[in-house]
Amino acid sequence: MEDEEHKAAVLAEFNKALAKDHTRITVSGFTQLGLVEMTRKRTRESLAHILCEPCPTCGGRGEVKTAQTICYEVLRELLREARQFTAKEMRVLASPAVIDLFLEEESQALAMLSEFIGLPISLHAESGYTQEQFDIVLM
């Protein structure tokens, strides 16, 4: 469509039809390809948001912390708990991947912390735990 009067007539009819819609709409006019450019405010949640739910493992973030990151979190939490409570022993319940890392690469850090706080620290792998889950049991 090349005639400006025809374009204006089409836009006028288009705007008249859109007047019935209560949502905010902006019509920018014709593009170089001859398409009518417009925006319409979204009034509902996206279809993905309606049909999906957050991942139980990552909570909808799209990523999980590494086993090594969880090991460091456990070490910090052990120190915090040791300062706050009195116990005879501390037991770490975590996913098998985290426990394996504690037994291999982080065994020296765990031993040093145990010596520093003066409490034995035992490890227990929980197969039902996700990689980010862990509990510290004071005994």
Q: Please state the domain extents for the chain.
A: 4-51, 67-138
Entry pTM:
0.66
Give residue 24's pLDDT: 86
pLDDT at 100: 97
Residues 6 or more apart whose CB falls under 8 angstroms from that of 78 comprise 90, 92, 113, 117, 121, 136
Record: fold of 67-138: Hypothetical Protein Ychn; Chain: A, (3.40.1260)
Per-residue pLDDT of the chain (139 residues; tens, 9 = 90+): 778 899 889 999 988 988 888 888 888 888 888 898 999 887 778 888 888 888 888 888 889 999 999 999 999 999 999 999 999 999 999 999 999 999 999 999 999 999 999 999 999 999 999 999 999 999 9
d(CA 99, CA 90): 14
